[in-house]
Amino acid sequence: MIRSAMCIAARDKLVACRLSVYRLVVRRLPLSILAAATLMTTATGQNVREKTIMRVFWQDAASQKLSYANLTASSRWNLRRGWVGGFPQLDASTQSLGEMVAADGQVFVSVTAASDAAVGGWLCLDSGAFEEPHGNHTHWKYTRTPKVRQSELTVGRGQVSGLKQHGDTVVHADSTGACTLLTPGQMKFGGDRGIRRVTLPEPAPFCMLDGQTLITVGEKAGQIVTRNYRLTDPLTSRTETAFEGGRLSGVVHNSQATFLSCDGGINRLTTNSSGVVTPSTQINEPVSGLTSHLQWVLGTAGTGEDARLCLKNATQSASAITQLPIPGPEGTRPLVPRVTLSLGKRFAFVIQQATSPDVGVQEQLTVILLDPNKDKDFSDARIHRTIDLGTQLAAKAAARDICFDAYGRHAVLTSPAEGVMTVISLSKMNIVARFRVGGAPGRIVSVGAAEHFH
């Protein structure tokens, strides 16, 4: 016991001696060295390895330029911007960027011409992001710079340039009747692989693929006209149907049925064994463009406090449309829903944007939980969260848009009036970062998900 006490006393005396020497040395150190030591400690404490969360591609509606950036995170968020190699310089007075689709590591972009004398068509970009096999899973990599892989830009493509994805195929159509079926998985190998060109007897802005049937929807003489073609060489016309409906705003194909939204509401087109198409009105009021998820078709109707999310089970022709109230600020209208799967939950994001260029209109993002009990029946959908997007500070050159990473962990929202892009955490449903990118960022798509290191 005596020896232990003596050891403890000796140890304490040694520690006290060392502290005295340390204090003496520190007092005599230059302030610059002390400051550097403090900064190094702080930096070491915050040294989190930076990782890419996703790669985003967005259009500047003012300049008609396409940008890309890696959204990264460490101790802080960052947006590392770049330019797509080989992307053409467009004339903003005669050309405009149109719809975009991200599919199989590639990004497809349509270009619309303001006149028959201007150049229009489509481009296919290698996003530079890819999944690398790693045992029983994959890792996302972002080691390549995006570049134009293939394009078809020519004079006289017309003033309509539509681009839609249907299953494994991206369909581009223009007002000259040219229709191109693009298969992303095959286009990676170059040449004309994965590209099939057909000429429609009657041009149509909306084209969909259902197996070996090409479905077109357009407007003619004040009526909506749908046509079905067999994908033979040349095309074989099967049926044609015309009906009143007003201006078209969107078309989707789900569960062997075609749904279209227009001034007259949502119409479901049913084709019998003889090829006769019968339209049936599902909701009799103007509806935004449509989107599709699982066996459900989604759209929005109304404005301000009367805004609603419309949901229709495509497999049940006789079922009524579910209308979920999603009240928004006065002077706003809901845009087309964007759907994502996040942490096992299915969400629809609806941007409620100002209906006029007037400044001072409050805008919001409404998040809907589509399937609370996870039975794939969206009829019990409910509002999950609303996020304040602030007031419109200036007239918009384009509509806001939103995209999600492949794992549904984060979203990026564009704000064309402010030249800002906003990052949203989907686990907490809150804004985590804002970046001023300038211009008028409008349409946006994403490729990839968070990098993983081990």
Question: What residue segments make up the domains of the chain, in order of their start?
Answer: 1-47
Which of 407, 370, 200 is CA-nearest to residue 291? 370
Chain centroid to Cα 314, Å, comes to 23
In angstroms, what CA-CA distances link 437 with 26, 61, 388?
A: 46, 13, 20
The Cβ of residue 252 has, within 10 Å, a number of other Cβ atoms equal to: 22
Residue type, 443: R
Token code pair at residue 347: 């969400």
Q: What is the spatial distance between Cα 14 and Cα 9, in angstroms, rounded to a whole number? A: 9
Query: By the 8 A CB rule, do 230 and 243 touch?
Result: no
- What is the number of alpha carbons within 13 Å of residue 144 lying toward its C-beta? 18
Asked whether 142 and 133 are in contact (CB, 8 A), the reply is: no
Cα dist from 233 to 16, 213, 229, whole Å: 94, 13, 11
Q: What is the pLDDT of residue 169?
A: 94
The torsion of the CA quartet 28, 31, 33, 35, rounded to 10 degrees, works out to: 140
Query: Are 97 and 63 spatial neighbours (Cβ–Cβ below 8 Å)?
Result: no
Would you call the peptide bond into 234 cis, given omega within 30 degrees of 0 as the criterion?
A: yes
pTM beyond 0.85, yes or no: yes
pLDDT of 356 reads: 81
Q: What pLDDT does residue 48 have?
A: 75
Amino acid at 60: D
Q: With residue 34 as reference, give the H or E element that holds it.
A: helix 31-45
Q: What is the pLDDT of residue 270?
A: 75
The predicted structure's pLDDT at residue 30: 37
Give the torsion sign (CA, 241, 242, 244, 247). Answer: positive
Instruction: Tell me the mean pLDDT per 10 residues along the chain, length 454.
Output: 46 47 38 31 50 97 96 95 95 94 96 89 96 88 96 84 89 91 90 91 88 88 88 82 86 90 86 70 85 96 96 90 96 96 97 84 96 97 96 78 97 95 97 96 97 77
103: which strand partners? Answer: 106
